[in-house]
Amino acid sequence: MNDLITVGISDVKITKNPGALVTYALGSCIGICLYDSALKIGGLAHIMLPYRPENNSGEQISRYADSCLPVMVREMEAMGCQRVRMQAKIAGGAKMFEVADDSAFGNIGARNVAAVKETLGNLRIRIYAEDTGLNYGRTVYFYTETGTMLVKSFAKGEKSF
């Protein structure tokens, strides 16, 4: 595979055809692929939490769904991408541990999924595919040549979206 770029935790990378992006081992975190098929430019973000706390300017922007995605979209627009052409594919947001008592614990994945959907909705970007929830870790590959999101896991092997 030529030109495979790794996206870390709380990180965003954008590349164009024939570049490919990968983010490893998403648990409750979410990988968001944004794609402009006309220009074959794609971005991949790895967010960890739903909402950026207020009055916390020191916090990393890419850690939170609501602060990461608008910046990512602006960067892609600066490269010539059109918002109307952008499509999103998302994966992750699992519940990795089944904790016995029914505390708030374990729902961070679901809250991440909700926040990503809300933020993409506000940005008027449609979600074309999602592989979220359940209870296993996922590695996400995103290919700018085709806009394909490939999800690998121990539980389900490989799945293309």
Partner 1 sequence: MAIENLSQLNEMHIDVLKEIGNIGAGNAATSLSQMLNREVDMVTPIVRILDISEADRALGGPETPVVAILVELGGDIGGIMMFVIEQEFTQSLLEALLGESKANCTELTEMEYSALSEIGNIMIGSYAASIAALSNLEIKISVPAVTVDMAGALLTVPAAEMGAVSDKIIFIEDDFLSASKTISANMMLIPDIASLNKLMNSLGIQL
Decide if 33 is catalytic. Answer: no
Going across the sheet that includes 20-26, the strands are: 4-6, 20-26, 138-143, 148-153, 157-160
Site string for partner 1, 100-139 (x = CB under 8 A): xx-x-xx-x---x----------------------xxxxx
Q: Does 71 bind partner 1 (CB under 8 A)?
A: no
Q: Which of 63, 146, 148, 159 binds partner 1 (CB under 8 A)?
A: 63
29, 33, 68, 81: which is the annotated catalytic residue?
29
Q: Which residues are catalytic?
A: 29
Residues at the contact surface with partner 1, assessed by CB under 8 A:
8-10, 24-29, 48-49, 63, 94, 96-101, 103, 105-106, 108, 112, 135-139, 154-155
